[in-house]
Amino acid sequence: MNTNIETFKYDNRIVRAFGIMTVIWGIVGMLVGLLAAAELFFPGANLNLQFITFGRIRPLHTNAIIFAFVGNGMFMGIYYSLQRLCKARMFSDFLSWFNFWGWQAIIVSAAVTLPLGFTTSKEYAELEWPIKIAITIVWVAFAINLFGTIIKRREKHIYVAIWFYIATAVTVAVLHLTNSMCMPWGWLKSYSMYAGVQDALVQWWYGHNAVAFFLTTPYLGLMYYFLPKAAGRPIFSYRLSIIHFWALIFLYIWAGPHHLLYTALPDWAQSLGMVFSLMLIAPSWGGMLNGLLTLRGAWDKVRQDPVLKFMVVAVTAYGMSTLEGPLMSIKMVNSLTHYTDWTIAHVHGGGMGWNGFLTFSMLYYLFPRLYKTQLWSTKLANYHFWIGLLGMVFYIIPIYVAGATEALMWKQFNKDGFLQYPNFLESIVQVVPMFRLREIGGLLYFLGVLLMAYNLYRTAKAGQFEPDTEAQAPALEKVSEQSHGTYGWHRVLEGKPLFFTALAVVSVLIGGMVEIIPMFLIQSNVPTIASVKPYTPLEVLGRDIYIREGCLGCHSQMIRPFRSETERYGEYSKAGEFVYDHPFLWGSERKGPDLAREGGKYPDAWHFNHMDDPRATSPGSIMPRYSWLLTQKMETDTLPARLIALRRLGVPYPVGFENGPAQKDLSAQADKIVANLKVGSVTTDSDKEIIALIAYLQRLGTDIKSAPVAAAK
Amino acid sequence: MEEKIICSMNSAGMCGVISICIFVAFFTGMLLWAFAKKKNYLDKMSSLPLDGGETNATDKIQS
């Protein structure tokens, strides 16, 4: 036995810093969410400012909550628990603070660029390429600090929470790098390297696993640490936690295509996504039960301790979300829920319940300990608990009702075989009261967070911060053959964190590779359509405006092969139609109608008037006004850079096209639209942004109308 | 070369067969691993978070 006891200090400063920013960004992210939610029943809530329209602040809300609120919460919990589980201070204080300041700088840059319209449009990966590079650097710093701490640990065994942290560090890196591949055409603008179907698969492989490996695996690690700690009891079954870990990371990575069911993605990929999603129920519920059963014999504590109360709801919400998610991945169920508000309710159940409540429980657990005092008011924390819980209920239930209403109205036929509600707006008008109720739920939840912020502030004021906590542990002995015999051969593997990491990476990569590689190599997955041509220069500009304004936040461009959709929107979408789409713009949500076949449906003047005031052409519409498009000039000086970038990505623009011919083409098409507008009694100049947007909208879905023959090579 | 091999196979059939093989192998290995663990190891590991090595009593603080 090693008697060489070492004394060392845990770094609490970094934990406190991440903790404070968790609260601050939580408040900011939720405020933006409240504004976005208000704009859905009061379109004028943006005060006609382009920077805070729904399309631009929706990604700001999702990024703020995921990467700022949950991200800081994750780092706070990891930096606290990792040191104690390894019985070692963090590997490098410099890297800890580099991680902290780098992450805050990234969040601030997101808060500036997203409202300005700099976005890739890829959900949860909207930040443009310089910020993506910064994310990579900061993440690598975090990973070095994580592995460095594990290597210098004084505890022989690597606890399961650390496995989850390792899986998070390596998988987020792989996902981020793969999905961020792009071709820059300006300091803050780029086009995705992938196109159409392939871009969609990579994006949702990323998007789904961002939920898995940013919102789930690190938080599961935190649950495995903080739940036993708060309950004062060992974890119910360590064996179950091992199965939970390996099964979860192996299965999760395959499930991405469930975001693309009934789209133009090949059927085999959709089926894989559905089957693996269903299998995910088993490990997820194993983890949930492991958490809840840890509390057996300690339920009396749950009645008194707000930390445990928040944890119980968090773990239960995890269980509910991970049951609902797989059920929504069943193709038949998905045909109803997809594009509706049901998905919004689902993600908020997970976000508010699992991530939110677990974060609150960690904050209530950590602040008294960091400040060596009692929580200022347990009563206030209990109020927070109940207000937060009520807020969740008031948020989620109306949105479930809205989702079900939308799904049923979109699919309803009358007895003569026509759509019962042919005008999409009818469904939106029906659910607007639910949007109002949702705002009340969100406000309650937000109020709870304010109570928590005050409580934590008073706790900090009452106590004295302990920057370093002294600890003692024997130095780590070298692993001997004898100790292998004591604990089994697993010890060999576990004792080598890098080998363990490699195994985890292989488990994670298998699913991604089996899905993504064939999609790129087998041409029959994307049957080409001869009549599909690259966008004209004016349409390219218009498409970039569509991306800038975040139109895909409300409008999909993917008609699924259901009669209810083909009757409403036209011919269902084909994979070959998107081969020049860098990035793809299929969307995931319909607050307005699908636009995949929008081209030619309405005259140019209708689009002009609709953008100026949507309620003038569509009474009851919840779309904001886009009046600035009528006055702002389109950015033609960057056209050559855009066309060159697209050509490098494989779009067949002739060499030299960008030097003259493109500008002539642009002017001719713009003049034609101006002439069309005149016919509709609208007078404007040909250099306005609205002209480019109209050109793009009128192009949508028109290619296959000219020659509908698809030739699979 | 890899491209030729992959392209020469039916994508759906190939993915199905590969997926099921990987799946069965992975889960068999994982379950064997989990159930081969010894009780003293499992007991020690499940209690690991409870010992933080702190020399003072911060863990006794009630929230």
Look up the ipTM and state it: 0.77
CA dihedral A95, A96, A101, A104 (to 10 degrees): 120
Mean pLDDT confidence for A271-284: 91
**pLDDT-based confidence at residue A491 (cuts at 50, 70, 90):** low
Which of chain B's residues have a Cβ under 8 Å away from the Cβ of A87? 52-53
Whole-angstrom Cα distance, residue A636 to residue A561? Answer: 38
8 Å CB contact of B54 and A469: yes
Hey, are the CB atoms on B58 and A369 less than 8 Å from each other?
yes
In this structure, what are the phi and psi dihedrals at residue A125, rounded to the nearest 5 degrees?
-140, 35
Smallest CA–CA distance from B58 into chain A, residue: A369
Q: How confident is the model at residue A439 (pLDDT cuts 50, 70, 90)?
A: very high
What is the nearest CA distance from B35 to chain A, expressed in angstroms?
7
Is the confidence at residue B60, as pLDDT, over 70? no
Residue A615 binned pLDDT confidence (cut-offs 50, 70, 90): very high
pLDDT at B56: 63
CA distance A588 to A552: 8
Judge whether A91 and A145 are in contact, CB under 8 Å: yes
Query: What is each CA distance from A237 to A224, A245, A318, A334, A516, in whole angstroms?
Result: 11, 13, 18, 34, 36
Angle, helix A129-151 to helix A497-521, in steps of 10 degrees:
150
Cα of B24 to nearest chain A Cα, Å: 12
What is the rounded average pLDDT of the residues A560-587?
94
Calculate how close chain A gets to B21, using CA atoms only, in Å. Answer: 12
CB contact under 8 Å between A473 and B53, yes or no, is yes
| pLDDT value at A143 more than 90 | yes
Query: What pLDDT is recorded for position A713?
Result: 40
pLDDT at A38: 97
The pLDDT tens digits for A418-428 are 999 999 999 99
Nearest residue of A to residue B43, measured between CA atoms: A238
Cβ(A38)–Cβ(A47) below 8 Å:
no
Residue A475: pLDDT band (50, 70, 90) is confident
Using the beta-carbon criterion (under 8 Å), do B55 and A7 form an inter-chain contact? yes
Q: What is the pLDDT of residues A6-38, one digit of tens each?
A: 999 999 999 999 999 999 999 999 999 999 999
Of B16, B44, B55, the CB nearest to A471: B55
Across the interface, whether the CB atoms of B49 and A373 are under 8 A apart is answered: no
pLDDT in tens, A207-226: 998 888 999 999 999 999 99
pLDDT at B1 over 60: no
When pLDDT is averaged across residues A353-372 and rounded to a whole number, the result is 97
pLDDT score recorded for residue A463: 95
To the nearest whole Å, the CA of B58 is away from the closest chain A CA by 6
Distance of CA B11 to the CA centre of its chain: 28
Q: Is A183 helix (H, G, I), strand (E, B) or coil?
A: strand
CA angle B39, B45, B47 (to 5 degrees): 105
List CB contacts of A498: < 8 A, sequence separation 6 or more.
A147
Measured between CA atoms, the residue of chain A closest to residue B41 is: A487
Residues A246, B30: C-beta atoms closer than 8 Å: yes
Q: Which of A154, A487, A521 sits opposite B38 (nearest CB)?
A: A487
| pTM exceeding 0.90 | yes
Pairing of strands A710-711, A528-529: antiparallel
Q: Which residues of B touch A524 (CB under 8 A)?
A: 11
Q: What is the token pair recorded at A33?
A: 């969410």
Residue A157: which of B19, B22, B45 has the nearest Cβ? Answer: B45
CB within 8 Å: B41 and A365:
no
Beta-carbon separation of A514 and B63 below 8 A:
no
| Minimal Cβ distance to B41: which of A160, A487, A510 | A487
A136 has pLDDT over 90:
yes
Whether the pLDDT of residue A517 is over 90: the answer is no
Q: Tell me which of A52-66, A157-171, A185-199, A468-482 is least confident.
A: A468-482
Among B45, B54, B55, the strongest candidate for a mutation testing the A interface, having the largest count of A CBs within 10 A, is B45
A490/B37 Cβ within 8 A: yes
Compare CB distances from B11 to A87, A487, A525 and report the shortest one's residue: A525
The beta-carbon neighbor of B34 closest among A239, A306, A374 is A239
pLDDT given at position A492: 59
Q: Which of B36, B41, B49 sits opposite A225 (nearest CB)?
A: B49
Residue of B nearest to A381 (CA): B63
Residues 6 or more apart whose CB falls under 8 angstroms from that of A660 comprise: none
Q: What is the pLDDT of residue A277?
A: 92
Q: Give the pLDDT confidence score for residue A221 in this predicted structure.
A: 96
A481, pLDDT greater than 60: no
Task: Supply the pLDDT for residue A147.
Answer: 94
Residue of A nearest to B36 (CA): A488
Predicted local distance difference test score (pLDDT) of residue A78: 98
Q: Contact at 8 Å (CB) between A71 and A99?
A: no
Q: Is the pLDDT of residue A512 over 80?
A: no
